[in-house]
Amino acid sequence: MKSTIKIHVPPSQQVMRNRTYNRHMRNLYYEKSNYQFRKIKKAMDAQTMLKELNLLPELYEFLGHLDVCQYYAKQAVYCNKSEKIVPYSQDHHWGILQEEVLLVYFLEEQISSAKYVVNHIETNLKVQAFAKKNDVIVQHILSNIDELNEDAEKDLHYFCDNIEKRYKIGNKLFGVLQELQNFQ
């Protein structure tokens, strides 16, 4: 018979292990979301832009990566604590870097913009499908729908450009975070 020995790990070490794991996963999914966005941006900037319907799966994947990244970022910051978070400047052992908190807010903003783009495309596709099915009913507003489609492409480029600008800022923030975490 083999006996197993249980090793008691103090709660403080468990929290640090969880924080380290959550930061590692956050970093991984941040890179995945950034890569996915660059893929979407490249497709949108191509001369023959993909149809919106073909762009949706890519956007869903991008949004999924952002959601997972935000989940791990929140877990790394809050560590299932309900009390106030102590900043690193006050507690060098257990404190949270302010850059980590800022990254959580940054990810919320990116998710919000990505959801807007997805909802915009989905709504546009539904309006187009409705217009095709009900020719007689909506014949008098087809010119407005065509205008909407032209504006939709401009809006998509505008939001993707904003997401790209935010990624430039986020990448700098992320670089600082990784340097600080390696220093700890």
Q: pLDDT of 129-174, one tens digit each?
A: 777 776 655 566 666 666 666 677 777 788 888 888 988 888 888 8
**What global pTM score does this model have?**
0.76
Q: Which amino acid is at 98?
A: Q
Please, what are the averages of pLDDT over each run of 10 residues along the chain (184 residues)? 58 61 89 92 70 80 94 80 58 66 88 89 78 64 65 78 88 80 58
Tokens of residue 153, six digits: 């492409």
Every domain of the chain and the residues it spans: 11-183
List Cβ neighbours of 117 (8 Å cut-off, separation of 6 or more).
59, 156, 159, 160, 163
| CB 95, CB 88: distance < 8 Å | yes
